[in-house]
């Protein structure tokens, strides 16, 4: 399911129409397009971003930094691509990778709203979790979801994540400190058939 070619990790998704691989600088233009076209949609769910964030140069820089983080084993920024035309439709990230006794990473993602409701996010979450727990040998993957973000709660539930509780004023989103429902999955959950 997973393979590496010229240092690029890629995997065939469990979703028949999806391919997952580490984002490359050449993907920056399409990622920026998703960000710009859906600015109003994503804004209520994300931190405030400076204007420079919405430039090609900044997106390329962020992807380049992501590739360096992957080389160092500190984070992984994956792109979700349609197999039929190799079109980038989303991003999924494992960030804040902690080793030692924690062996944990944070999961975050976005999918172009034009492709919502087709199972891409749920399949990709499962694929990335499988990769993280088996290939990267992490022990725990966690995610935080704002209570009002019903679609992401459905993704977490369908992907077999466990609700661990409510973190008050957890992240500053769109200028406001927002509560988040914390989800997690451990290697034991996966071994016990979480999905």
Q: CB neighbours (10 Å) of residue 107?
A: 23
pTM: 0.91
Residues of the chain with pLDDT under 70: 1-8, 195
- Phi and psi at residue 111, in whole multiples of 5°? -130, 135
Count of domains in the chain?
Answer: 1
CATH number assigned to the domain comprising residue 46: 3.40.630.30
pLDDT of residue 11: 72
Query: In sequence order, what E strands does the chain have?
Result: 2-5, 8-12, 18-22, 76-82, 88-98, 104-111, 140-145, 162-173, 176-186
Angle (deg, nearest 10), helices 120-130 and 150-158? 50
- State the Rg of the chain over Cα: 16
pLDDT in tens, 20-35: 999 999 999 999 999 9
Domain range holding 113? 2-191
> Nearest Cα to 138, choosing from 182, 193, 75, 79?
75
* Cα separation of the two ends of the chain: 16
Asked if 171 contacts 47 with a C-beta cutoff of 8 angstroms, the reply is yes
Looking at residue 5, its pLDDT comes to 57
Residue 48 DSSP label:
-
Within 10 angstroms of residue 191's Cβ, the number of other Cβ atoms is 9
pLDDT on residue 12:
72
């Amino acid at each position: 399911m997973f393979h590496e070619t010229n240092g690029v990790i890629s995997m065939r998704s469990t979703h028949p129409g999806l391919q997952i691989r580490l984002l490359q600088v050449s993907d920056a233009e399409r990622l920026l397009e998703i960000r710009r076209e859906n600015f109003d949609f994503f804004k209520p769910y994300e931190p405030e971003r400076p204007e420079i964030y919405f430039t090609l140069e900044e997106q390329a820089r962020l992807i380049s930094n992501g590739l360096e983080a992957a080389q160092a084993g500190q984070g992984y920024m994956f792109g979700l691509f349609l197999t039929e035309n190799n079109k980038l439709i989303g991003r999924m990230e494992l960030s804040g990778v902690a080793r030692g006794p924690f062996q944990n990473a944070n999961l975050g993602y976005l999918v172009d709203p034009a492709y919502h409701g087709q199972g891409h996010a749920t399949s990709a979450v499962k694929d990335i979790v499988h990769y993280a727990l088996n290939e990267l040998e992490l022990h725990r993957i966690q995610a935080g979801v704002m209570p009002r973000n019903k679609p992401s709660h459905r993704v977490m539930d369908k992907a077999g994540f466990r609700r661990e509780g409510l973190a008050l004023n957890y992240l500053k989103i769109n200028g406001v400190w927002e509560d988040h429902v914390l989800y997690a999955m451990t290697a034991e959950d996966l071994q016990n058939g979480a999905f």
